[in-house]
Amino acid sequence: MVAFRVADQDFCIDIGMVREIRSWSETTFLPHAQPYVKGVINLRGAVVAVIDLAARLGLGTTQEDPRNVIIIAQVENQTVGLLADHVADILPVPPEAIKPMPDVAAEEAKAFITGLVTLDDNRLLRKLDLTRILPDAKSIAR
């Protein structure tokens, strides 16, 4: 798992989906894109959309800061950048260590979070389902 922070909250994704972690770079704004689409970057000749995870998860918007990172992930046939505050850890997490979401969680939260990972230091990581976080390619630029 790759653990990272967004809006002072801890999340993680499968490391198998992560292609690289880049330092912040300016994005090119896309008019009429979804509000959580920060823009696009040129990744060695490929145009990659950058999703502001804070905005997508309903945690406000990320203020541009040189300390931010862009996690380049591959989700099915789509390469996307995920704007995060910073990457915290790369952790080995066995599948049995991922606990289900409690029934009291809102349906919207369950739509994005597939489980909870408890760490030895009592932190809880929310495991994101990137297939649900990402807009389909048609809605990136409406």
Give the pLDDT band of residue 141 (cuts 50, 70, 90): very low
Phi and psi at residue 36, to the nearest 5°: -85, 0
Q: pLDDT of 50-84, one tens digit each?
A: 999 999 999 999 998 999 999 999 998 999 999 99
Q: Is the pTM of this model over 0.85?
A: yes
Q: pLDDT of 82-108, one tens digit each?
A: 999 999 999 999 888 899 988 776 666
The candidate with the shortest Cα–Cα distance to 38, out of 9, 7, 70, is: 70
The per-residue pLDDT for 135 is 65
On the question of pLDDT at 37 being above 50, the answer is yes
b/e per residue 16-44 (b: at least 16 CB within 10 A): ebbeebbebeebeebeebbebbbbbbebe
The per-residue pLDDT for 36 is 94
